[in-house]
């Protein structure tokens, strides 16, 4: 079946440094790629998303890049802050579905003071 692989599973960076999380998907028909942030004991929250007709999208300190040929996309967080500590999930639409996503297993991001 279709899947999304996410790496690394844990990422520890110094406060102020950049963090990059990478995901690879298998369904070449996927056209929507969101990223969610989940703080401990809280619900996942959408932080940024990208569609397949765009190669890069930025929102302040976060950005997502998409390489459709290689079927991978990445989350970039610059100037990391303590409040960035959380688990980050990537996801990809199942085909061009408006309803279903397949999820990565998550990356625990730790920001060291």
Partner 1 sequence: NAGVTQTPKFQVLKTGQSMTLQCAQDMNHNSMYWYRQDPGMGLRLIYYSASEGTTDKGEVPNGYNVSRLNKREFSLRLESAAPSQTSVYFCASSTRDRGPGYTFGSGTRLTVV
Binding residues vs partner 1 (CB under 8 A): 6, 32, 34, 42-46, 49, 51, 89, 91, 93, 97-106
Q: Tell the smallest beta-carbon distance from residue 79 to partner 1 (Å).
A: 25
Question: Measured from the CB atom, is 56 or 79 closer to partner 1?
Answer: 56
Q: How far is the CB of 1 from partner 1 (least distance, A)?
A: 8
Which residue's CB is nearer to partner 1, number 85 or number 104? 104
Compare residues 48 and 111 and give the one whose CB is closer to partner 1: 48
Query: 19 near 77, Cβ under 8 Å?
Result: yes
Q: Which residues contact 97 (CB under 8 A, 6 or more apart)?
A: none
| Residues 6 or more apart whose Cβ sits within 8 Å of residue 20 | 74, 75, 76, 77
Half-sphere exposure of 9 (CA within 13 A, CB side): 1
Question: In whole angstroms, how close is the CB of 91 to partner 1 at the nearest point?
Answer: 8
């Amino acid at each position: 079946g279709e899947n999304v692989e996410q790496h690394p599973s844990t990422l520890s960076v110094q406060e102020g440094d950049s963090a990059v999380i990478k995901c690879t998907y298998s369904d070449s028909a996927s056209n929507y790629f969101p990223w969610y942030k989940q703080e401990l004991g809280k619900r996942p929250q959408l932080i940024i998303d990208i569609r397949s007709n765009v190669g890069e999208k930025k929102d302040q300190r976060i950005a997502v890049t998409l390489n459709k040929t290689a079927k991978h996309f990445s989350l970039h967080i610059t100037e990391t802050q303590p409040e960035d500590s959380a688990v980050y999930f990537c996801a990809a639409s199942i085909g061009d579905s408006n309803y279903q996503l397949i999820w990565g297993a998550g990356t625990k991001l730790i920001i060291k003071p």
